[in-house]
Structure 1
């Protein structure tokens, strides 16, 4: 008597229980790494922001440097500095489109001449501007002032001074570059923006340190990972469902 191996029933075996098809497999192969990559990128961004906040906090707690020490150090971001000198009331910049709590306004930037002869561009803070038909109102102290400020460097692309020749003062600008201002005025100045700490010459100086906090990046990472999980779950479900339909069709196929 000749032995015949038992034939495998269609639908049996692990490979027959999951048949997603080539098109869904290709789609998942492309999308899943991208979604996971975006999630891990957001986690990396959150860690970078934590490091920046820690660096800012360390420099905020440190004693402010003298201006000569700041220049020698290369004016690192967030470094505090002591200033003593006078504001130039003739050449004020109004940085437009700055909102606080939904209120429109501007930031006031003015040249400041330190007693050592160094020019600095000092941001005195935010001013409300509810009616654009009326210029923002501000006052410039005449006397010499002792101030404390910190170096602001934009984390994105550098700001560029935007103006047209013949513009008057105060000048409304959308972007500011201190070096371009010094070049226009023919002055030797530090090519960074200094932001005032609270004091007699400051307006609203509750500066938003980061455009996006680490928690925001974590939230985005969670969304990307959730999408990746949903995609994988749908892929598994469709693969099992498709395999069952094929197995059912083969089993009930008439001979």
Structure 2
């Protein structure tokens, strides 16, 4: 019995650790679900607001709550300082994006001019399509800097993986505001096959069902302990009920006929 207790204790300790990890992951998915719902509400609310001058918003560090407001800005594109963003995706489109500084009367702001689709396996160009020349008016979404490793946000040979106004701005001969504008329209229009970057999907995503799965794994672990211990106890009771076998040996002889065994042989 002592060996069973040791086995049960070790199994219980393992299941408790496993169940704790599953509960943590399940709650983490529920937290992500709540954050996503808050983002959805903020996205819809900001996107439905009237277009504002970019100078009303780009006065501070841009955060998640600022994103997807629509703003407008008038100025000239700096075609000599463009940044090409590699390996980008938007909805079902995969390709590259181009970020171009827009110099206005009050300063400069980065503008993500959109995504250009690439066929599967097609190389990313080394030179970005030129922006419209002269004075332009852009309307776009407020976007915060993307987060990632320094190697991903630091421009190298005019290209990067993620967009950071701080990292890109360090390569420019003039300051730029924090964050950037995700272009919706530009007047006069641009060429080059650009499409606006899509808004994030307004849905709960898979987080709720991921949470359910993690909680189910924890429940299965607890149920497994019960099944395992009951199996051990059943096997132990069955073993105790078995009748001991008679010891093997010579068959007894018949007293009336000692020359014969009790079977008559």
Whether TM-score is above 0.5 comes out as yes
Count of paired positions: 231
Q: Deviations over 1:157-211 (max 9, x none)?
A: 47764244xx3xxx2222332223323222021121221124534821142527x
Q: CA deviation at 1:105?
A: 1.4
**Residues 30 and 137 of structure 1: CA distance in aligned 2, closer, same or farther (over 3 Å):** closer
Secondary structure at the aligned position of 1:207 is classed as: coil
Give the match for residue 9 of structure 1: none
Normalised TM-score (structure 2): 0.75
Give the match for residue 38 of structure 2: 51
CA contact (8 A) 1:85 1:112 kept: yes
Q: Does 1:226 align with 2:211?
A: no
- The 5-angstrom pairing of residues 110-149 of structure 1 reads 110-116=100-106, 118-130=107-119, 131-132=122-123, 135=126, 138-149=129-140
Higher relative contact order (CA closer than 8 Å, sequence separation 6+): 1
Structure 2 portions without partners, runs of 5+: 245-265
Larger CA deviation: 244-253 vs 190-199: 244-253
Secondary structure at the aligned position of 2:134 is classed as: coil
- Max radius of gyration: which structure? 2
Secondary structure at the aligned position of 2:154 is classed as: coil
Give the match for residue 196 of structure 2: 205
Q: Deviations over 1:21-43 (max 9, x none)?
A: 11211111111121112111101
Q: Does 1:32 align with 2:23?
A: no
Structure 1 portions without partners, runs of 5+: 1-17
Give the match for residue 42 of structure 1: 29
Distance of 2:85 and 2:243 partners within structure 1: 76
Question: How much is the aligned-residue C-alpha RMSD, in angstroms?
Answer: 3.0
Q: Does 1:176 align with 2:167?
A: no
Where is the strand percentage greater, Structure 1 or Structure 2? 2
CA contact (8 A) 1:45 1:214 kept: no
Normalised TM-score (structure 1): 0.77
